[in-house]
Structure 1
């Protein structure tokens, strides 16, 4: 559940406002944060400033062991207001986010806001959860996502168990305090350090969960808050995965239909059904005979799932498959290699597994995934393997928090109707949970709308809200951005 660096960077242009590291007075954003050059190892974009902020490891013992969070900023320190942004994940580094956001803002927003982001606790340069070298547990090619028998299923269950054990062991005491509620407490420390009475906030994907958690825990300090690509606040991570499955399948069918519309370019089928049939056959072929012994059916599934987040990546995948169809496999191997570099995402697992209780009986996962695969055959097992370590995560989970309980102020929600990662039902339930909230709804399906989908109908009401603090008088409905060319 992340917009991701590639998604954020896709439409970012040249930055106009550049952080003044020396000339601007520190008082512009409160004296608690001292901006300076970013550490070279974080590879921050040019024009980004960084700062460190100490927060308690355990908020039940605020004077005990501390963690250092790395903050980043872009824009002008003379700006009268601060917008804190979270790009999602969980586990996504925020260090490059301010530069990307500032680059896509309207001039009015650039003049109004210094944009600040951070590596949340357990992430990147903020005491990261490190699962070590797990490459031996993730062979290339991976066993097929859809297990043909109990042996194939156990070939995926066993490494999931080992990954969970390794991550928890290596994280030590830290793993007990990597929760969204703790990250929300950190947000409040950031707000205070920036010298602001209220937190103005923009969160994408998982960042919507973090923002809604903050607004529920600290309603009197919640300022202008935009939640884009909204996580369902009524169910835990286990059930959210099963909500994603049919949404991903639906988006894949839209992708197949788009490929068919451009059959003169890709030659994979003249109808969506024909492309879908070709795709199913390709999965089987690659499982039986992986390309270069490395790219099998599981790798193809991973490529398809990643491509569903934004249609700007559709031509790349379609071209790679078309070239394979014509006898040139290089595009598939390159794409698979790029995805494989990420390995196990320890911070993401730590947040996902600790935020909610997950079934500990694998038979439950097997039965639920088998049912889900009947409606989402391309994604149900893939999604289950993504979260499978949570079945074996032996660490305490966060206490339950009902989003919207108490006097939570209304928020602005931004959503795409066919978003595959955070389905529309989640945004609708968030609107019900936080009464008075408004929704800007695009008819499209790209994950991450405001500033990065090039849709002025979406951007305008969100910009006005951030400038004035006034929610739209009613929900806003927008046409989708045009589909990409072949």
Structure 2
């Protein structure tokens, strides 16, 4: 699947998250005698941010089978009565750093009420990490086109997918079976208890909404206030969701092409959506034949397009880079390719994705479904399939995900952009049905991640009021989106 690796860290959404600190923590987090031993964080120190470690069972069904380590991070005023635990998405994205972004974006009346905690989930970052050997390295550039033009190109990508699965299976054999959303949710319950909170107050983005609602389903009596933003469909497994994403991304790309047409005087890509689409596809074909700088081919252009669909703040840079390339200057295009290449294969994301849900194990099934999807989503169907293709060969059998929903769950606030490509709106609507006391606020936008990250007073004020009072908006509440970006 095409995922945001996190709302706070992915290149796909980096433009939306360049948050200025509005106020800094005044004091270190309170050091409870029986709570976490807060100290310095790994890496470069951040003023007012502290870290601690927590041992959790490797296997929650067999606590005697050993433990792994989670790393938590906290910021706030120290004596706040509540704690908001944040997950930025993924799955399998590091959370350390998100706490500072979130807390610094809260108004004083909310930040006085809440400390903010994040964590690197099991298998990730500063927690006990998943090791996948050479699979964690950077892919070669240029990559072969996503849509195979020959049997050799298809075989090359299949071999790469098979190698990732094999190396993760060999290097991460002990940890891999236990990288599931259910285990991560049970980790959350231990984090809540370690923080000394009666209930878990939670802010989750994208995959974080699946993590949060899994926790709530397992521990309804311990669930506090939850803000769920860019909501995952509670009914679809990753296989089904992948193909729904394709259509949603293609729709969002149409909006980008139409926007570029409105600014043809700046970019010269075409005067209407169809003309820009044709220019884009001609550029793809040219790059497939002769990659820019020897490393920016059609697959790299597709990667950049997919990344830019998460936030329209990225649109001017992408349109400008392509326009400059067409004028003979490829420096901006190559810089973007180099940034994407640094990310490499996200093996932890794959570990959760391939292990949480069942995937077809016959490549012919994938090929047929992808070819059918590509008829309506030509820019994304094959790209999305190759992202997930290691799941064809995953050595660890998939588990049974928790069925989301319970009549016992407290009211939650769901926030969702109408044209979100990564988590289509229909899934958020089904989540609202699964959480009968919840409210869904729909924003007239396509940007993935709204609360705190879009500077939208309508959305933010609803979230702040809910966190402070537990009060939800009326059913059917909507918010306007932000203005379209300027060239």
> Does the alignment reach a TM-score above 0.5?
yes
Structure 1 spans left out of the alignment, 5+ residues: none
Tell me if the contact between 1:31 and 1:194 (Cα under 8 Å) persists in the aligned partners: no
Alignment of 1:181-196 (within 5 A): 181-196=182-197
1:197 matched residue in structure 2: 198
Structure 2 residue aligned with 1:171: 172
**1:378 paired residue number:** 379
Q: Is the aligned partner of 1:32 residue 2:39? A: no
Deviations along 1:73-98, whole A, 9 cap, x unmatched? Answer: 11111111100000001121111101
Confirm or deny: 8 A CA contact 1:86 1:204 kept in the other structure.
yes
Aligned residue number for residue 437 of structure 1: 438
Distance, in Å, in 1 between the alignment partners of 2:486 and 2:34 is: 49
- In 2, Cα distance between the equivalents of 1:423 and 1:79? 36
Cα distance, 1:13–1:362 mapped onto 2, change above 3 Å? same
Backbone CA RMSD of aligned residues: 1.5
1:396-415 equivalent positions in 2, closer than 5 A = 396-405=397-406, 407-415=408-416
Q: Distance between the aligned counterparts of 2:334 and 2:262, measured in 1? A: 25
The yes-or-no answer on 1:13 pairing with 2:20 is yes
Q: For the Cα contact (< 8 Å) 2:137–2:344, is it kept in 1?
A: no
**CA separation in 1, counterparts of 2:348 and 2:187?**
16
Is 1:313 the equivalent of 2:314?
yes
Q: In 1, Cα distance between the equivalents of 2:184 and 2:484? A: 36
Contact 2:137 2:345 in 1 (8 A): no
- Counting only pairs closer than 5 Å after superposition, residues 282-321 of structure 1 correspond to structure 2 as 282-321=283-322
Structure 1, residues 241-263: CA drift from partner, whole Å, max 9, x if none? 10100100011110111111111
Any idea what SS the aligned residue of 1:257 has?
helix
In structure 1, distance between residues paired with 2:476 and 2:224: 20
The CA distance in 1 between the partners of 2:182 and 2:260, in whole Å, is 42
Asked whether 1:207 is paired with 2:212, we answer: no
Confirm or deny: 8 A CA contact 1:168 1:393 kept in the other structure: yes
Task: Identify if the C-alpha distance between structure 1 residues 11 and 338 changes in structure 2 by more than 3 Å, giving closer, same or farther.
Answer: closer
Task: Give how far 1:151 is off.
Answer: 2.5
SS in 2 for 1:26: coil
Shift of 1:64: 3.3
1:49 Cα deviation from its structure 2 partner: 0.7
Distance between the aligned counterparts of 2:252 and 2:327, measured in 1?
A: 25
Deviation at 1:406, TM superposition (A): 5.3
Shift of 1:149: 2.9
Instruction: Specify the SS of the correspondent of 2:55.
Output: strand
Please list, as runs of the form range in 1=range in 2, the aligned pairs for 1:30-429 lying within 5 A after superposition. 31-40=34-43, 43=44, 45-134=46-135, 138-405=139-406, 407-429=408-430
CA gap 1:34/1:471 in 2 versus in 1, 3 angstroms: same
- How far did 1:11 drift? 4.3
Structure 1 residues 362 and 44: CA distance shift in structure 2, 3 A: farther
- The alignment partner of 1:72 has SS state of strand
TM-score if structure 2 supplies the norm length? 0.96
Deviation string for 1:56-78 (max 9, x for gaps)? 00112223311110001111111
Distance change (3 Å), C-alpha of 1:45 and 1:269: farther
Looking at structure 2, the residues matched to 471 and 340 of structure 1 have their Cα atoms a distance apart, in angstroms, of 42
CA deviation string 1:156-182 (max 9, x = no partner): 111101111111111021001000000
Structure 2 CA distance, aligned partners of 1:316 and 1:130? 34
SS where residue 419 of structure 2 aligns?
coil
Structure 1 pair 248–44 and aligned structure 2 pair: CA distance change class (3 A) = farther
Q: Is the 8 A contact 1:441 1:458 kept in 2?
A: no
CA distance, structure 2, for counterparts of residue 259 and residue 265 of structure 1: 9
User: Residue 138 of structure 2 contacts residue 343 of structure 2 at CA under 8 Å; is this kept in 1?
Assistant: no
Could you say which residue in structure 2 is the equivalent of 1:448? 449
Q: Say if 1:233 and 1:430, in contact at 8 Å, map to a contact too.
A: yes
Aligned length: 480
Alpha carbons of structure 1 residues 428 and 159: separation in structure 2 relative to 1, 3 Å? same
Q: CA separation in 2, counterparts of 1:247 and 1:39?
A: 38
Structure 1 CA distance for aligned equivalents of residues 81 and 471 of structure 2: 18
Q: Classify 1:181/1:370 alpha carbon distance in 2 versus 1 (closer, same or farther; 3 Å).
A: same
CA displacement 1:355-377 (0-9 Å, x = unmatched):
00100000110011011000000
Q: Measure the CA separation in 1 of the matches of 2:163 and 2:67.
A: 29
- Provide the rounded CA distance (Å) in 1 between the counterparts of 2:221 and 2:298: 50
Is 1:301–1:382's contact at 8 Å kept on the other side of the alignment?
A: yes
CA distance in 2, matches of 1:394, 1:64: 21
CA contact (8 A) 1:17 1:74 kept: no
Q: CA deviation at 1:385?
A: 0.4
SS in 1 for 2:343: coil
TM-score normalized by structure 1?
Answer: 0.96
What SS does structure 2 have at the residue aligned with 1:16? coil
Change (3 A) 1:333 1:156: same
In 2, are the aligned partners of 1:33 and 1:194 still within 8 Å (CA)?
Answer: yes
Name the SS for the 2:300 alignment partner.
helix
